Structure 1
Amino acid sequence: MTSTVAEKPTEDDTPRRRPLRLRLASANTLWISLVLLALIAVFAAINPGAVLTLFNLQTTLIETSVLLVLAVGMTFVIITSGIDLSVGSVLVFSGITSALVMNAMSPGGDSTGAGWGVITVGLLVALVSGAAWGLLNGILVAKAKIPPLIVTLGSFGAALGAGELLTGGSDVRTVPDALATTLGSGTSFGVVPNLVILAAVVTAVGAWLLGTTRFGRYTYAVGSNEVAARRTGIAVTRHLVLVYLLTGVLAGLAGFMSLAYFRTTTLTSHSTDNLNAIAGVVLGGTSLFGGVGSIIGTVVGVFIPAVLQKGFVIIGVNVYWQPIAVAIVLVAAVWFDQARRRARNSR
């Protein structure tokens, strides 16, 4: 006679979680963090007096802040298996519109002595300008079904061209002193640059949005399998529009931050920001195939090119080696991602 009483599962029948050491060993963020620490250690060993200084740390953080804000938005886009090549041009365009509006609101067309009311309007203009390009990208990608590479490549040229039309191809060099001294070069607690604090706040909000909210879960779902996401009731079209809109807003904020730091619109200085943001995101473990990524990884990934550039300058290596070194690390990161995907799919 067969017993109908369910047997108590044995220890071998219960699922086991992988040991912590194995989970850490497979974490992209851990490996890329070790690479970053190794780079810092090498440069510090060669020239400790120049690398391990407060001034060097401050300048590295400041120079990385604008790129980090761009990379946070890029992380969301790439997780959806998209791409945005326009962020550098949108940054420039947003800085231009912000500067022009602040000048237009100031006596004599010179915003140097403008107060915080004018500066606040300038910030809003920068955010709206970035949002407009992001919304356009999102609509063309999600609704018109045009490949993101083509859409954002078009926006890359159009945004830069529109900015040059507005200025006649010349930089706007009048920026409120209050903005430059408070946000651009100001510090809090005596040592922490305000630009870095703003970038840290944006990064923290991005990490919270991606890691703990429905918006973040939908982002991963769309990137993992868009068809399955639609079948589960996710409004994929709407979500993609919002992701590109978010990226545009952050590019607008980055344009305002750049304006505060450089005190000019720097028309020709952001031509590779899009590629640097993509490199930082991918180096941080976000998969170009979508569905995988984290803001913490992006933070680490963004600092690798920054540390390489700063380190090469300090130890006297030709700075033109920096993009070659970044390219090698980037290709290795993509290869590792592909190998991991093949291993996972073969199980």
Structure 2
Amino acid sequence: MSVEVGGPAAGRAGGVRGRAVLERVAGSQVVWIALVLAAMLAAFAMLRPHSFATGFNLLNLVSDAAILLLLAVGMTFVIITSGIDLSVGGVLVFSGVTAAKAMGAVGAESGTALWLGPVVAVATGLAWGVLNGAVVAYGRIPALIVTLGTLGMSLGGALLLTGGVDLRASGRLNLGLGLDRDLGVPDIVWISAAVTVALAVLLAQCRFGRHTYAIGSNTEAARRAGVRVERQLVRVYGLAGLLAGLAGYLSLAKYGITGVSAHSTDNLQAIAAVVIGGTSLFGGTGSVLGTVIGVFIPAVLQNGFQILGVRPFWQQVVVGAVLIVAVYLDQWRRRAGDR
């Protein structure tokens, strides 16, 4: 029995080989990005061993990256579906404002504020995310347009609620874990790490993750395989909004101020971290581990440049160059997979 060249069997075999090549290259990109991060850490440690390679400095570095990490992890899920979410920075600000308003109404130092603030922030972020997902999935409007619109709506809403003046919490808010005092590591770091690990497992090992990858790889094929594409998209964007809401509360807890004008580039930083970490802008490929590495590359650069006394503008130049290289590698591996 002969198999016709170029027939279905050959197509399936080529598809399997293409996916295998794609997976190998994607995995190697995460390894290379990790090596780049390790080389940066080693270089700054050798140049400034008594200022960079200290527990105090590294703890500050991790703490500064914790909020962006939450945004980037949510963005990872969205970009894997071949979507985009430009609204996360605005949702972060709006959620922080609503949390501050709610806690101010009951007294920021009261026991009620301890749970009311995060609940309001997370619920607000989730609502914005579900709105994004519903309009993208059921309204068939490109995610770029939808989330650009909700970015303006959320930032405008925050300005309306505050009158353009930042709201202050009375002192640093207690996140309730006590790990900052007991272990010397800020609660914000533990919360961000726990959420990141949980979502890494969700993406890599659970049906939610498989459906997310399937939509990004081939939406129509996923639909024919039984994936409820529209419902899954609403869930993915809802997750991104929820994480942005949590990030908004953690930002308020860390700085004690809403910072309405301080998060204008958070969405772009999150997207850059995800892409640098190996997630494809075309969807279907990516990992939370890669995103974690992608978040810390610009964080280490900023911290190291500050210690070395290098003008901070160079960080933008270097991160931009790394981003371009990451997108080039993404396109190269897609062509390798097609071949």
State the TM-score, normalized to the length of structure 1: 0.88
Give secondary structure in 2 for the equivalent of 1:192. Answer: coil
State which of 328, 332, 335 in structure 2 corresponds to 1:339.
332
* Aligned match of 2:9: none
* Aligned match of 1:315: 308
Deviations 1:302-326 (A, max 9, x none): 0001000001101110011111110
Preserved contact between residue 114 and residue 177 of structure 1 (Cα < 8 Å): no
Q: Does 1:204 align with 2:197?
A: yes
State which of 116, 119, 130 in structure 1 corresponds to 2:114.
119
Query: Against the structure 1 CA distance between its residues 26 and 136, is the aligned structure 2 distance closer, same or farther, given a 3 Å change threshold?
Result: closer
Preserved contact between residue 204 and residue 210 of structure 2 (Cα < 8 Å): yes
AA aligned opposite 2:146: V
* Aligned match of 2:242: 249
TM-aligned CA deviation for residue 267 of structure 1: 0.7
Deviations 1:138-174 (A, max 9, x none): 0110000100000001111110000000010001112
AA aligned opposite 1:57: L
Counterpart Cα distance in 1 of 2:331 and 2:80: 15
Deviations 1:275-323 (A, max 9, x none): 1111111111100000000001110110001000001101110011111
State the TM-score, normalized to the length of structure 2: 0.90
AA aligned opposite 2:161: L
* Aligned match of 2:12: none
Query: Against the structure 1 CA distance between its residues 34 and 283, is the aligned structure 2 distance closer, same or farther, given a 3 Å change threshold?
Result: same
Give secondary structure in 2 for the equivalent of 1:49. Answer: coil
Counterpart Cα distance in 2 of 1:327 and 1:149: 21
Q: Does 1:76 align with 2:69?
A: no
AA aligned opposite 1:259: L
Query: Against the structure 1 CA distance between its residues 257 and 344, is the aligned structure 2 distance closer, same or farther, given a 3 Å change threshold?
Result: same
* Aligned match of 2:254: 261
* Aligned match of 2:143: 148
Preserved contact between residue 172 and residue 254 of structure 2 (Cα < 8 Å): no
Counterpart Cα distance in 2 of 1:209 and 1:25: 19
* Aligned match of 1:294: 287
* Aligned match of 2:133: 138
Counterpart Cα distance in 2 of 1:37 and 1:273: 24
Preserved contact between residue 173 and residue 256 of structure 2 (Cα < 8 Å): no
Preserved contact between residue 114 and residue 176 of structure 1 (Cα < 8 Å): no
* Aligned match of 2:276: 283
Aligned positions of 1:215-234 closer than 5 A:
215-234=208-227
Preserved contact between residue 72 and residue 295 of structure 1 (Cα < 8 Å): yes
Deviations 1:86-135 (A, max 9, x none): 000100000000000110112xxxx2x322x2220111100111011101
Deviations 1:211-260 (A, max 9, x none): 11100000000000001001111100000011000100000000000000
TM-aligned CA deviation for residue 69 of structure 1: 0.6
* Aligned match of 1:167: 162
Unaligned segments of structure 1, at least 5 residues:
1-14, 17-21
* Aligned match of 2:231: 238
Deviations 1:36-83 (A, max 9, x none): 011111212211111110011110000000000111100000000000
Q: Size of the alignment, in residue pairs?
A: 320
Give secondary structure in 2 for the equivalent of 1:27. Answer: helix
* Aligned match of 2:61: 60
AA aligned opposite 1:344: G
For the aligned residue pairs, the C-alpha RMSD in angstroms reads: 2.0
Unaligned segments of structure 2, at least 5 residues:
1-15, 18-22
Deviates more, 1:41-50 or 1:271-280: 41-50
Counterpart Cα distance in 2 of 1:27 and 1:130: 34
Q: Does 1:101 align with 2:94?
A: no
Preserved contact between residue 69 and residue 254 of structure 1 (Cα < 8 Å): yes
Counterpart Cα distance in 2 of 1:142 and 1:209: 22
TM-aligned CA deviation for residue 191 of structure 1: 2.4
* Aligned match of 2:7: none
Amino-acid identity (%): 54
Preserved contact between residue 309 and residue 319 of structure 1 (Cα < 8 Å): yes
TM-aligned CA deviation for residue 27 of structure 1: 1.9
Give secondary structure in 2 for the equivalent of 1:308. Answer: helix
* Aligned match of 1:12: none
Counterpart Cα distance in 2 of 1:255 and 1:26: 32
Counterpart Cα distance in 1 of 2:242 and 2:26: 36
AA aligned opposite 1:138: G
Counterpart Cα distance in 2 of 1:261 and 1:29: 31
AA aligned opposite 1:69: L
